[in-house]
Amino acid sequence: MPRGSEDARKRFLLNTTGNFFAVKPASSLTDEAELNNFLDDENEFVLSIRRHGNDLQLSNKIEALRESKENVLVFFKLRPTVITEENLHQNLLVSSMLESPINTLYQAVKQVFAPVLLKDEHWRSAFDPKLAGLLSDLELGLGSVVRSSGAKLSMKEGFTEEEVLGILTPTDEFQFWGDVSESAQKNSVRERATYFTEQFKTIQKEYEGLDALSLSDVVDLVEQSRETLDDVWRQTEFEPYPEARMVRLMDVIGGALGRYVQRKLSDAKVFEEPFASVRDNLRMAISVCEQWVTACQFLTGQAWKKYSPHPWKGSKHCPQSLDCLLKRLNEVVTLRVVHEKLLCLLPGGKQQALTSDRVFEPFAGLNPLHYNPYTEPLWRAAVAQFERLITPSEQEVAGRLKACIADVQDNPQQLLQVFQKHKELIRRPTINKELQTEREMLLARLLDYNKGLKSNFESRCHGGPGEKFGPLSGRNLPEVVNKIVWVRQLSHKVEDSVRIAKALLPDLSGFKAFVLFCDDLLEVLKAFEQEQFEDWSRDILSGLADPKSGISGRVMDLDHADGRLKIHYSDRLVSLLREVRQLSALGFPIPAKIQQAANTADKFYREAIVLKQVAHFYNTIDQQMIPSQRPMILSLALAFERVIKNPRSLSKESGGKLQITWDNPKELQGYIAKLQSAAEKLSTENRKLRKWHTDFIDKVVSLMNVDLLRHQQRWKDGLQELRTGFATLEAQGIRVDDMRVWRLHWNHQLYKALEHQYQTGLEALNKNLPEIQIDLVFKQGRLQFRPPFEEVRVRYFREMKRFISIPNQFKGVSVQGEELIFTVMIDRNASGFLTIFSKAEDIFGRLQAIHHKFKEWVVLGQVDLEKLVEKNLMSVQDWERNFKALKARGKESERLPSQEKVDCITVNCEPVKSTIDDLIQRLFDMLLLSLRKSIQSHLQAIDSFVSESMETLSTRPENLEEIGAANSKYKQILSGKPEILLQFQSAEEKNRLLRAVAGAGVDSLSSLRAKWDKLELIMESHQLMIKEQVEVMRGHAAGRISAYRADLERFKLRWDQLKPKDENLEGGDHAALLACLQTIRDKQQEFQELELVRSKLLEDCTYFDLEPPDFSMAEEIKIDMEELSQTWSLYEEWQEGYTEKAREDWITFRSKTYVFEEFLLAWQDRLRKQEQPTAMSVKLLAEVDKYKNMVPVLKYVRGEHLSQDHWLDMFRMLGLPRGTTLERLTFSDILGVADTIVERAKELKVCTYTCLRRQPLLKRRVQHDDLYGQHCGSGSVS
């Protein structure tokens, strides 16, 4: 048997699987048991493969697809047999399952098996008709399940209308609602689905037989589809249509239309046949696609967005596939048109270069109707090649177009026509560039044209049709239709100009501004048009909802609930019929209620006009009858009602209403005549009662003009006349109970008259109340009224209450036992009290205004004047302004009124005026005091400065530092003088102001001036004194130099004698070396003091202009000390590192001896790398070698396992002092006997081994240490 990789059967299966899942199958799959079983076992029929990540899983059974909707590839056998290379392609079937088994089976039956078995002539004749029926039923059943996206047809729980994956064609959606209407459990769901099914029936048959329709029929179908979808979306009888399903329906309709267009044009050779033969079909196909794309965008972007019962919530929807096909078709037409126009404009001799065979050769082998991402690059390349072929011809045509445009440039209309005629050519880049100037001229003309349209609209939009400044009037057009037609015409003009500009002028600099202007104008026009329609719809709908409007649903009915014969057919219905027809023709969706009303009005127009004339008599009598007198003529009204209730031809409805039928016009006329006869008696009695009613009106109107406060007796006389009239009618036979409503009516009229005078009296109440006297005083730090403000309010409102209670005593024309309505006037007239309370608040507001008017005058009594003055007054101008302002305020206070009158309240202001005078005087005194204090503070600062400066300048400097300090202080005094002079000036100005306002100033200012002049003299003589001192110090400088030289010589002699020599290094021990190092440090410090003296002398020589002395000896000493210090600093650094490790206790350090060894190695490297060895480096190198020799032997003195006795023996062996113990042993002690340790290494080794024999477990470690020591020893020797 061949290996798995060489088995052709397995290679075929795995390659097919890899291609399907787009993965490379693993080599290990060739050995899978499932694969071998399927190929080699004739009883194994199925091999299913599914993908998990990048892995493939094989199985010999079909498992249910999971929720992830993973794909499955299935191989199955045609018959039970072993698969071989020979029968591989005859016995093996391949299938796949996508999304779900149901959907896969449905698509296989629908797309593959049903067409073959039911439509193909050969197989249909061999197929049992019964089986064919079963296959059709299976397709229908599976389609129903797929359309409901896996939900049961019973529409039970889990079903959601948002699942639309099963809807692939318009017929699927239509059938979906048919399935729901038959199988849904809820009655409401079935009714809703039935409604949608009925709506879709108008277009369902057309879509089922779409291929049989012509392009012109499909154009009509698109319009019908738009109307059907609009009706479905706008229905309000049932739950709204789901937005997700509507999006899907639009897409599948767009897909169906796109496929139809592709099939219709598939036989046309659009680039080979003459353009005239394919032009109409191409443009018709474009119309189909464009209308549906536009319809979807209009419905979802405008119409449904504004439909409040069911607004579109998503964004504007566009069927993408159909829109892409539309663009491709437009591009094809454009290419053909450009070619045709180029041929027309070129001379005959040059047309040979543009033959169809040559310029359309790039499109050979391309089907322009197949639009998808894979064919788009090929199409683009072909278009680019086409454009390259026509470019030379375009340049010549551009010149011809330019000449043609120049001939008509003065005529805007002809200019526009030329551009429209050749727009396809002008859009070409080459021609576009050549006509740059002409296109800019066109843009300017278009902008002026649209501005004129906007101006025309703005000047006419607010007027009525036919008016001078209104829209142009059309013939027999209602107002709303006339306005919409007018605006629609303007919109079309603007849209045409924008369309031309977008096609020909998009690259111009002014294009964006032009489009923005046009968009704004179109938006305004569209808003105006929609506003007119919505206003019309709103008015009509409100009229339909209002029974009194005459355009309600019924033409005529008799409603006994209110006793009126209602005619719902008015003149408005006549105009409504015309408006509905014309607005529908304009494309506006007429609301269903308005459409129904128009249909009803049209049906009963003639009969309603006759009945309206008859019913007018009854309705007129009803209007003449005074409602409050109806009980008084109730008997006559009942007689008239009996005539109404007993016509010969009536049909009774279930709602308790009687509707007159239209069957017998003669009987209808007789019924109207009876109504006229019965109304005559009612009219006579009504006229008599109306006469009494008119007389009463005159009496009550006269009372309305009688003042309630001043003429109460005239009110009593008028009431008595009314009561006499009621008594007369009662004597004529009208019952008291029947007059109750009429009496109540006149009580209400009297109520109105009383309320009028009541309100009039309330309005003048604030001026007529007794006068109230109050005082305005400033007490306890605040301004207040006396008596208090609250007490004044109480007195005012008490007087007001007396007037308000008048209605409680008024009786009207009521009889004994009837409820009085006048007592509630106070409560019912609460809103009327706003006048009196507002006036009351106005009075008290004006009182508060008086209070506020004086409040700013007494504010000085509410603050700490001393702190206020101290904080805000600084310069003399501040005091001057305040003195002037205080003087002005004093004069203003004299003009304050002594008394204020607020309607009935009088305010006495004398007490507060007296307080204001006292506060002004207090502020004046405080200003004087603060001004005097400010002058004193200036004098203090000046005197302090002068005294300190004089004391400083009087001191004679003795050395250079003191001279520098004196000069510095002199400069400080000199820089501080301007500030003190300003204070002097300020003090004098303030003193002058003090004399002006108080009559006397501060006398100490003159004595301070004399002291200042003395300071000026001292400052002038200060420089002379400094110069004298400098000359004296110049003479002393030579002596100081000589003294310094003597000190330097003495120091040199001592340094040469005491500085460390090389002999100190050779024989000196550690203590001697440290003493040498200390000597160097002491001498460096002593020399530093001499250096300070030297630098001071050099500075003095520079300052006194003396020749600098020779101090070369100091430089020599300095260099010698630096060199010696550098040499001995090496030893100091060594000693620091050595001491740091030596002070460690041995118990701790014995395990870290490698640290000391690393220290030695580092110093060894450092010393050997020196370029020139010195005595110090040789000395240190010897030390390093000594201790390096000791390091290998240190392991014998670690003593980690030695007893106390062994340690004592070792201490004696090494010569350590008596009393040395392990606990106090340091590494310094070990280093001190380094030579002894090296000399007695063998003895130490013997001692250590003697101890280790007693501890066998540690013997190996000592041996290891021996080896390590030998290694280190050899290393040190080397």
Q: Against a cut of 0.85, is the pTM above it?
A: no
Do 573 and 638 fall within a single domain?
A: no
Instruction: Mention every residue, 6+ apart, whose C-beta is less than 8 A from residue 1195.
Output: 1265, 1268, 1269
Do 473 and 599 fall within a single domain?
A: yes
Give the confidence band of 138 by pLDDT, cuts at 50, 70, 90. confident
d(CA 153, CA 189): 13
pLDDT of residue 651: 39
- Going by C-alpha positions, the residue among 600, 585, 593, 487 that lies closest to residue 537 is 593
Please tell me which of 186-190, 452-456, 817-821, 1209-1213 the model is most confident about, judged by mean pLDDT.
186-190
Least confident stretch, 443-452, 584-593, 1154-1163: 584-593
* Mean pLDDT confidence for 703-732: 82
pLDDT of residue 330: 86
Give the confidence band of 253 by pLDDT, cuts at 50, 70, 90. very high
Q: What percent of the chain has pLDDT over 90?
A: 2
pLDDT at 553 over 60: no
Do 629 and 706 fall within a single domain?
A: yes
> In this structure, are residues 804 and 761 in contact, taking their beta carbons and an 8 Å threshold?
no
Do 549 and 506 fall within a single domain?
A: yes
Residue 1100 placed within a domain:
no
Do 1153 and 1271 fall within a single domain?
A: yes
pLDDT of residue 296: 92
* Mean pLDDT confidence for 1186-1191: 76
Collapse the DSSP code of 451 into the 3-class scheme (helix H, G, I; strand E, B; otherwise coil) and give the result.
Answer: helix
pLDDT at 649 over 50: no
What are the CA-CA distances from residue 123 to residues 78, 105, 129, 136 (Å)?
20, 20, 11, 15
Give the confidence band of 223 by pLDDT, cuts at 50, 70, 90. very high
Neighbouring-strand partners of residue 567: 556
Q: Which of 757, 774, 790 is the last residue of a domain?
A: 757
pLDDT of residue 1278: 26
Do 1180 and 1212 fall within a single domain?
A: yes
DSSP 788-825: -HHHHHHHHHHHHHHHHTGGGG--TT--TTPPPSGGGH
Residue 1253 placed within a domain:
yes
Q: What is the DSSP-derived secondary structure letter of residue 30?
A: G
Q: Which of 757, 786, 801 is the last residue of a domain?
A: 757
Do 588 and 672 fall within a single domain?
A: no
Do 1161 and 1231 fall within a single domain?
A: yes
HEC readout, 329-344: HHHHHHHHHHHHHHHH
pLDDT at 493 over 60: yes
Give the confidence band of 266 by pLDDT, cuts at 50, 70, 90. confident
Do 595 and 681 fall within a single domain?
A: no
- Going by C-alpha positions, the residue among 467, 469, 517, 465 that lies closest to residue 486 is 465
Mean pLDDT over the full length of the chain: 74
pLDDT at 227 over 60: yes
pLDDT at 1258 over 50: no
Note the pLDDT tens digit of each residue in 688-698: 888 888 888 88
Residue 1226 placed within a domain:
yes
User: Long-range pairs for 703-710 at CB < 8 Å and ≥24 separation?
Assistant: 703/750, 703/753, 704/752, 704/753, 704/756, 704/757, 706/757, 707/757, 707/760, 707/761, 708/754, 708/757, 708/758, 708/760, 708/761, 708/806, 709/761, 709/768, 709/803
- Going by C-alpha positions, the residue among 773, 772, 828 that lies closest to residue 800 is 772
Note the pLDDT tens digit of each residue in 419-446: 666 666 666 777 767 767 777 777 777 7
Residue 120 placed within a domain:
no
Give the confidence band of 709 by pLDDT, cuts at 50, 70, 90. low
DSSP 1125-1160: HHHHHHHHHHHHHHHHHHTSBHHHHGGGHHHHHHHH
pLDDT at 500 over 60: yes
Say how many domains are in the chain: 3
Note the pLDDT tens digit of each residue in 290-327: 999 999 988 898 778 877 778 888 888 999 888 888 88
pLDDT of residue 289: 92
Do 587 and 634 fall within a single domain?
A: no
Collapse the DSSP code of 375 into the 3-class scheme (helix H, G, I; strand E, B; otherwise coil) and give the result.
Answer: coil
Residue 711 placed within a domain:
yes
Note the pLDDT tens digit of each residue in 827-841: 877 776 777 788 888
Q: Is 780 left (phi over 0), alpha (psi -120 to 50) or beta?
A: left
* Mean pLDDT confidence for 1079-1102: 71
Do 587 and 631 fall within a single domain?
A: no
Give the confidence band of 800 by pLDDT, cuts at 50, 70, 90. confident
* Mean pLDDT confidence for 939-944: 77
Collapse the DSSP code of 315 into the 3-class scheme (helix H, G, I; strand E, B; otherwise coil) and give the result.
Answer: coil
d(CA 543, CA 591): 13
CA-based torsion, 979, 981, 982, 987: positive or negative: positive
Give the confidence band of 225 by pLDDT, cuts at 50, 70, 90. very high
Give the confidence band of 754 by pLDDT, cuts at 50, 70, 90. confident
Residue 258 placed within a domain:
no
* Mean pLDDT confidence for 1180-1200: 74
> In this structure, are residues 1270 and 1262 in contact, taking their beta carbons and an 8 Å threshold?
no
Residue 949 placed within a domain:
no
pLDDT at 1013 over 80: no
Could you tell me whether strands 72-77 and 556-559 are parallel, antiparallel, or unpaired per DSSP bridges?
unpaired
Residue 160 placed within a domain:
no
* Mean pLDDT confidence for 941-956: 73
End-to-end CA distance of the chain: 75
User: Which residue has better confidence, 952 or 473?
Assistant: 952
What is the domain extent for residue 1226?
A: 1143-1277
Do 449 and 591 fall within a single domain?
A: yes
> In this structure, are residues 286 and 330 in contact, taking their beta carbons and an 8 Å threshold?
yes
Residue 370 phi, psi dihedral angles, 5° rounding: -90, 95
